[in-house]
Structure 1
């Protein structure tokens, strides 16, 4: 399987929304439930334009056979005190889970982060998402803490883990 990892482009707005809507439907591990994502393709294009104009955030997409199979969003701050840090969001279609897509996305993220002298990569993950936790640990992330009952799934609350990786400065 040939995976192409690249930066998001404005013209990816519609395909990216389709990817996100599909992720919303096929997994409970993403934040939004089916039907909650109301962004239009034009609004998504505008968000991408703003993101691409800034130097502190990026979305990397995994393309397989011309279709988006997953993404890794790195969202940074323009404030001096936390400019060294980015918050990450990962989504990979189930059909491509466990096939190296996540590892490839993290490899590209690390290149991008090092070029910007970033020091901290951070994320949250549902505590029962064993596959994602294993990927993050493989990528060098460590658990820093627990957010108790931070997500509601149906009629139950679940914990999230705070995870981070510090890059050499």
Structure 2
């Protein structure tokens, strides 16, 4: 699905959250690769599960046409600095929920970009009668866990020894969910 552009200003930084469009595909490929190399809080090592321009074009088309998917980007001037996706499942038994994922260039942490991407995604999910949003977060990412909790997410479970980071140690992944229409 598509949303209207939203303007934000934080700490003197002005940015726009909007739906991804086909012309973003090449920039998204480079952006995702850079973000993967800036933190171990995400799932991939740099270059793993690489998505090229054509791959992002396909995702953008699918997400623009699917009512249970949304692909958002953050633009500063003419540069993309962040993105998020909510992806639904085509199976009927899972049609009530979407999974949220986000990536923000490290240079732009602390400006509320991730929070605003999540807020826009929650608003979209609520408006489209999706009753559950899920996400996964590394156990050591306390700041993200607090943010998610502040926006109504709760811990649903822990995947133990789920990831191995560069220090050779295992880390847990926290599974969180937000229920829009509790029944």
CA RMSD across the alignment = 1.4
Residue of structure 1 in register with 2:88 after alignment: 76
2:177 partner SS: strand
Q: Segments of 4+ in structure 1 off by > 3 A?
A: none
Contact 1:123 1:164 in 2 (8 A): yes
User: Cα–Cα, structure 1 residues 38 and 102, in superposed 2: closer, same or farther, change >3 Å?
Assistant: closer
1:160 pairs, out of 170, 173, 178, with 173
Distance 1:152 1:43, change over 3 A: same
Superposed, which structure 2 residues align to 1:19-58 within 5 Å? 19-58=31-70
Provide the residue aligned with 2:25 in structure 1: 13
Aligned to 1:162, what secondary structure does the other structure show? Answer: strand
Q: Which runs of 5+ in 2 are unaligned?
A: 1-12
Matched, 1:122 2:121: no
1:59-109 deviation line (CA, Å, top 9, x unaligned): 111212221121221010122211110011111111111211122112211
Residues matched between the structures, number: 169
Shift of 1:159: 0.2
Structure 1 distance, partners of 2:131, 2:153, is 13
Stretches of structure 1 that go unaligned for 5 or more consecutive residues are: none
